[in-house]
Amino acid sequence: MAELCLRGFLQRLRGSGELLVWRDEVDIRYGVSRILKEHDGGPAILFESVKGHELRVVGNVVSKRDRLMAATGASSDVELYKKLLDACSNPLRTKPSSDGAFMEVELSSLKELPILIHYEGDGGPYITSGIVVARDPETDFQNASFHRMMVIDDKRLVLRIVPRHLYRIYEKYRSAGKDAPVAVMIGCHPAVMLAAASSPPYGVSELHVANRLLGGRLETAMLPEVGLEVERWCEVVLVGRLLRGEIHDEGPFVDITGTYDIVRKQPVMAVDRILVRSDAMYQALLPAGSEHRVLMGFFREALIWSYTSRVAEVKAVRLTKGGCGWLHCVISIRKATEGDGKNVILAAFAAHPSLKMVVVVDDDIDVDDPSDVEWAVATRFQADRDLVVIGRVRGSSLDPSADQRTLLTTKMGIDATRTLTKPSHHFERARIPS
């Protein structure tokens, strides 16, 4: 069996005591999501006995950021930021095998998959770990991106498609009067998940980004009937079409903030084939859980690190848990000149347009400790001098306090670095000698 796949990665987690095997029977309606939530930020969990289903369920796979590093051989956040940005600018072409029969089992209905109902107000069962691949009809470019998808019936899904790369491909087919062939990969290696959660420019294939991250060792296969390339060892592949003439209500569903996103009319996918490996696992990904935040935020952290590093010596960047892993950021710097903090604030907003609040601290502050960050604000920050407020700028669609129609929001930067106009010993934490 290949090592570079979800199963190989889980085997490694098992070896390091980070895989919890859950033997009691669980229910896909709230049962699995409740257990994933209770263990959020902890071990990956493999549910061996799922009520009414043959397939096992695995969740919380990369619910800790150090698992992304383990999966890609990086030794620190900053090393993986560099690796990921480099992989996006220097993707490495894959060599797909043409072994069309690589999936052993075919199912006849989406109901045979243990697709979870996560929260009480959800519009239906939702696939949350699905990576959609589609090919530009005019070029050879194949995109891969995460989309949540709600089950409508045995063979149809409605997908949330924000106007980015997949949407562009779908529109090209639609304007030519055609359905867009797509495949959905479920249960991929974490490097593929990380690449698909990143945003390299249109024309850069996320599978090639993952292949670069894995040093050219990613194995892929072509699906002959649709001409689409997928990870060779992923657990489940749905083959189908985004229908040109059909839209459906999508939602309600919980996004990264933990609140319900609004219901929208979205494109429908007809599922023609459901292919699974023998003894397959279905991957669950808890909305608004740590894994969601880690995957969605990591590429943005890398961009913030890259942009802010141009104006100051940046030590650490963190999209915080309380800020939904998306809206708030703490950045620690080694301050060299007065005003560095404000330049870092401006660079961070330029790097990640959804960002709503930035706190800049000195490098003696732990970006992962909210109390430490607050201590810096309490002892090093003056609002009349160190606060930056920028009103009515384009922000995130996910923040319910913003205008979700125009996306206009107000952004705030807090420069909580100590001023260089006072001696530094005024700001240092007292120590007890050993």
Q: How far is the CB of 9 from Mn ion (least distance, A)?
A: 23
Q: What is the DSSP letter of 108?
A: S
User: CA torsion 357→359→360→363, rounded to 10°?
Assistant: -140
- Residue 170 vs residues 133, 175, 204, 244, 313: alpha-carbon distances, Å: 11, 9, 17, 8, 42
Q: Where are the alpha helices (DSSP H) in 3-120?
A: 6-15, 31-38, 65-72, 77-89
Taking the least distance from each CB to Mn ion, the nearer of 143 and 283 is: 143
Q: Quick one: which segment of 19-27, 138-146, 237-245, 375-383 binds Mn ion (CB under 5 A)?
A: 138-146
Taking the least distance from each CB to Mn ion, the nearer of 184 and 360 is: 184
Q: Quick one: which segment of 3-11, 28-36, 102-110, 165-173 binds Mn ion (CB under 5 A)?
A: 165-173
Q: Quick one: which segment of 3-11, 68-76, 161-169, 281-289 binds Mn ion (CB under 5 A)?
A: 161-169
Taking the least distance from each CB to Mn ion, the nearer of 205 and 283 is: 205
Residues with Cβ within 8 Å of 228's Cβ and at least 6 positions away in sequence, in order, are 133, 134, 135, 142, 181, 182, 183, 222, 239
* DSSP secondary structure of 368-394: T-HHHHHHHHHHH--HHHHEEEEEEEE
Q: Where are the alpha helices (DSSP H) in 129-236?
A: 165-175, 190-196, 206-213
Q: Is 143 in the site for Mn ion (CB under 5 A)?
A: yes
The two structure tokens encoding residue 398: 């996910």
Q: Is 67 in the site for Mn ion (CB under 5 A)?
A: no
Report the SS3 class of residue 302: helix
Distance CA 251, CA 372 (A): 38
Q: How far is the CB of 253 from Mn ion (least distance, A)?
A: 22
Distance CA 144, CA 291 (A): 19
Distance CA 163, CA 171 (A): 10
Taking the least distance from each CB to Mn ion, the nearer of 21 and 162 is: 162
- Residue 180 belongs to what H/E stretch? strand 180-186
Q: Is 290 in the site for Mn ion (CB under 5 A)?
A: no
Q: Quick one: which segment of 97-105, 162-170, 236-244, 296-304 binds Mn ion (CB under 5 A)?
A: 162-170
Q: Is 165 in the site for Mn ion (CB under 5 A)?
A: yes
How many residues in the shown chain lie near Mn ion by CB under 5 A?
Answer: 2
Q: How far is the CB of 205 from Mn ion (least distance, A)?
A: 8
326-361 in b/e burial notation, b at 16+ Cβ within 10 A?
Answer: bbbbbbbbebeeeebbbbbbbbbbebbebbbbbbbb
Strands of 83-178 (E only): list them: 105-107, 126-127, 131-135, 142-146, 149-153, 156-159
Taking the least distance from each CB to Mn ion, the nearer of 65 and 135 is: 135
Taking the least distance from each CB to Mn ion, the nearer of 165 and 356 is: 165
Q: How far is the CB of 261 from Mn ion (least distance, A)?
A: 21
x/- map, 375-394, Mn ion, by CB under 5 A: --------------------
Q: Is 198 in the site for Mn ion (CB under 5 A)?
A: no
CB-closest chain residue to Mn ion:
165
x/- map, 94-133, Mn ion, by CB under 5 A: ----------------------------------------
Q: Quick one: which segment of 6-14, 102-110, 121-129, 143-151 binds Mn ion (CB under 5 A)?
A: 143-151
The verdict on whether 261 is a catalytic residue reads: no
The two structure tokens encoding residue 259: 């609140």
Q: Quick one: which segment of 35-43, 63-71, 157-165, 375-383 binds Mn ion (CB under 5 A)?
A: 157-165
Taking the least distance from each CB to Mn ion, the nearer of 47 and 146 is: 146
Taking the least distance from each CB to Mn ion, the nearer of 143 and 220 is: 143
One of 255, 340, 362, 415 is an active-site residue; which one?
255
Type of residue numbered 358 = V
**What are the residues binding Mn ion (CB under 5 A)?**
143, 165
Question: Catalytic residues, which ones?
Answer: 255
